[in-house]
C-alpha cells in the first residue's frame, strides 16, 4: 500500500508507528507543504491520500477539489485529517472517505486491511 500525506507540522509516519500501526508493508511519503500537489500525487500514485486542511500554500480542501477536477486517478482512500472538525466535514462533503482528527489517524480501519 502506498500512502501520501500532506501535513505541515506533525510527522504522520512517526505518529502511526508510535501508536502501534505496522507500516512494514506500506510505502509512506509525507510532504510538509502543498506545493505542486497535483504533480506530487500523480508521480507517487498513492492508494491512500491524507490531507491536512491548514497547510501552506494550498489548503487540504483545495487540494482535494483540484484533484477531483483533474484527470489524475483518484486514490482508493482519501483521509481528511485536520485538527478542525469543520474542515474535516467540508472535505467529507467534497469527497473524502474519512474525516478524523490527525492525532487519531492510527485508529482508522485502513491500517488493519493492508495488502
Domain range annotation of the chain: 2-112
Query: What was the pLDDT predicted at 102?
Result: 92
- CATH number, domain 2-112: 3.40.50.2300
Cell numbers placing 34: 502543498
Query: What was the pLDDT predicted at 114?
Result: 59
- First CA to last CA distance, the chain: 6
Interatomic CA distance for residues 23 and 92, integer angstroms = 25
8 Å CB contact between 100 and 70: no
8 Å CB contact between 95 and 65: no
Threshold 0.85, pTM exceeds: yes
Asked if residue 26 has pLDDT above 90, the reply is: yes
Q: What is the mean pLDDT of residues 19-48?
A: 96
Query: What was the pLDDT predicted at 112?
Result: 83
Amino acid at each position: 500500500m502506498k500512502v501520501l500525506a500532506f501535513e505541515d507540522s506533525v510527522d504522520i509516519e512517526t505518529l502511526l508507528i508510535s501508536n502501534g500501526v505496522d507500516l512494514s508493508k506500506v510505502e509512506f511519503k509525507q510532504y510538509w507543504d502543498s506545493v505542486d500537489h497535483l504533480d506530487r500525487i500523480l508521480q507517487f500514485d498513492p492508494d491512500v491520500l491524507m490531507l491536512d486542511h491548514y497547510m501552506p500554500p494550498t489548503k487540504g480542501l483545495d487540494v482535494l477539489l483540484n484533484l477531483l477536477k483533474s484527470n489524475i486517478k483518484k486514490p482508493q482512500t482519501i483521509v481528511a485529517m485536520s485538527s478542525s472538525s469543520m474542515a474535516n466535514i467540508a472535505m467529507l462533503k467534497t469527497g473524502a472517505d474519512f474525516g478524523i482528527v490527525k492525532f487519531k489517524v492510527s485508529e482508522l480501519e485502513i491500517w488493519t486491511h493492508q495488502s
